[in-house]
Amino acid sequence: MTDPDFTPSRHEERTLSTTPAAHPSLRELTRSEWRWTPTVGVAAVLLLVAIRIFAPAEWTSWMTDPAKDFVTLSVSVIIESLPFVILGILLSAVVQIWLPAGFLLRRLPRNAVLRRSVISLLGVLLPVCECGNVPLTRGLIVSGLSVADSMAFLFAAPIINPITIITTYQAFGWNDGILISRIVGGLVIANLVGFIYSTHPAPQTLLTRSFQAACAVDPHAEHGTRTRRTLISFGRESAAMMPALIVGAGIAGLIQVAVSRNLLITLGSNPLWSVLALMALAFIVAICSNVDAFFILSFGSTFLPGGIVAFLIFGPMIDIKMLALMRTTFTVRTLVQVSVLIAVCAAAIGLAVNLVF
């Protein structure tokens, strides 16, 4: 907790944490929950498995084809993203609990521009796509990284993670400068966002209040063994991430069923429209950055390289699922600003690539 901005809210937190004393029943409830928890856990597991095995197909036989596709697509997003979200939560716990306090922050350069550059490059070490980066970024903010710096990490990491770079290379090689434009463009935008928000007078107000409160609890000051704290942190982060993931997956599935892709794809061969249409496609498809290169490659010659670059830069940073996940951490106002800023930058880079190559 090196950031002085944390102090007031932390103080407030201390005050708040004494309020339960006024509600003696809360403490009692905690005890009684503790007693029935293991039984309920086992019962819940058995119940869920039983539902899955015995639920008759007739219950849902009334569903129309679009309704079935909606469920299939949403479930597909959940199952594909779940491992990365879990991995992100675990890495976040490692940063907060298993690494010594300030392990990361102490090693960062003091110069602001240099520090953000280093942070935006940290993603090279982490094979986590965008959905896993949200819990990790939350962990970094809780550990004391400034909001602006953590944004530089959040937006750069999915693009420069090693798997993304390899798959983009496999898909496009060095053709049309797509790989280079993606990496450089992603880093430039992430650093730009970081720079712009570093001038914000009250960076804490960019965060949702509930997350500000979560930041105010210093994880290193919590008691209990590390394993225990890891499990508690897992419970806390999954409470924030999982509902957002479900909602994001639902919206992504709904849009896929409702919006025809044909129009977007038809627009893809026009120098200007290709950039905008493919950004719209990236937004609604909400595909993982690790494999988006293969996805867009499958449309191959239909699209101009600038459109593809805009897709590959914009998609990992902003899409339906990401907005739902980031909403756990940033205010709506912040997300709108960031989305517009990134969209404009990605479009500019895409158009530039169309003109140059």
Partner 1 sequence: MSFSRLITRWKGLALTLLAAIATGWLGATGQLGLYIHPRYYVFTLVMAGIAFVLTIGALLVIPGPDEHDDHDHGMHGEPDGRGPDAHGDAGAGRRRPLLALGGSLTALVIVAAAAIALLVVPPSALTSAAVEQRSLNGSSNTLANAGPPPGTSDDTSAYSVKDWASLIRQGASADDLSGRTATLTGFVTPDADDPDNVFYVARFVVTCCAVDAQPVGVPVYSPGWSSSYATDSWVTVTGAFEANPSVLSAATTVVRPDSLTAVEQPAEPYVY
Contact flag: residue 335 with partner 1 (CB under 8 A): no
* Residue 190 C-beta: closest distance to partner 1, Å: 23
Nearer to partner 1, 244 or 345 (CB): 244
CA torsion, ordered 313, 314, 315, 321, to nearest 10 deg: 140
Tell which one of 4, 24, 25, 62 touches partner 1 (CB under 8 A). 25
Q: With b meaning 16 or more CB within 10 Å and e meaning fewer, what string describes 272-311?
A: ebbbbbbbbbbbbbbbbbbbbbebbbebeeebbbbbbbbb
Tell which one of 90, 136, 141, 282 touches partner 1 (CB under 8 A). 90
Contact flag: residue 297 with partner 1 (CB under 8 A): yes
In the region spanning residues 181 to 210, those forming contacts with partner 1, defined by CB under 8 A, are 208-210
Q: Tell me how far apart the alpha carbons of residues 296 and 184 are, in angstroms, rounded to a whole number.
A: 19
Contact flag: residue 312 with partner 1 (CB under 8 A): no
> With CB under 8 A as the contact rule, which of the stretches 97-105, 225-233, 310-318, 342-350 interacts with partner 1?
225-233
Q: From residue 252, how far is each of 54, 278, 324, 334 by CA, in Å? A: 29, 16, 10, 21
Instruction: For tokens 């960062």, name the residue.
Output: 108
Contact flag: residue 239 with partner 1 (CB under 8 A): yes
**What angle, 0 to 180 degrees and rounded to 10, lies between the N-to-C axes of helices 178-198 and 305-317?**
40
In the region spanning residues 123 to 152, those forming contacts with partner 1, defined by CB under 8 A, are none
Contact flag: residue 49 with partner 1 (CB under 8 A): yes
**Count of positions on this chain that bind partner 1 (CB under 8 A):** 111
Q: Tell me how far apart the alpha carbons of residues 99 and 239 are, in angstroms, rounded to a whole number.
A: 23
> With CB under 8 A as the contact rule, which of the stretches 152-160, 188-196, 282-290, 348-356 interacts with partner 1?
282-290
Burial of 227 (0-12, 13-18, 19+ CB in 10 A): exposed
* Residue 306 C-beta: closest distance to partner 1, Å: 17
> With CB under 8 A as the contact rule, which of the stretches 27-35, 95-103, 106-114, 271-279 interacts with partner 1?
27-35
Residues pairing with 330 in the sheet: 207
* Residue 85 C-beta: closest distance to partner 1, Å: 9
* Residue 258 C-beta: closest distance to partner 1, Å: 9
* Nearest Cα residue to 324 out of 316, 332, 314: 332
> With CB under 8 A as the contact rule, which of the stretches 73-81, 179-187, 306-314, 339-347 interacts with partner 1?
73-81
Number of helices and strands in the chain (H, E): 17, 0
* Residue 284 C-beta: closest distance to partner 1, Å: 10
Tell which one of 117, 269, 270, 331 touches partner 1 (CB under 8 A). 331
Nearer to partner 1, 119 or 283 (CB): 283
> With CB under 8 A as the contact rule, which of the stretches 8-16, 194-202, 307-315, 349-357 interacts with partner 1?
8-16
Tell which one of 62, 106, 107, 301 touches partner 1 (CB under 8 A). 301
CB 159 within 8 A of CB 183: yes
* Nearest Cα residue to 184 out of 163, 159, 209, 154: 159
Contact flag: residue 55 with partner 1 (CB under 8 A): yes
* Nearest Cα residue to 294 out of 277, 306, 312: 312
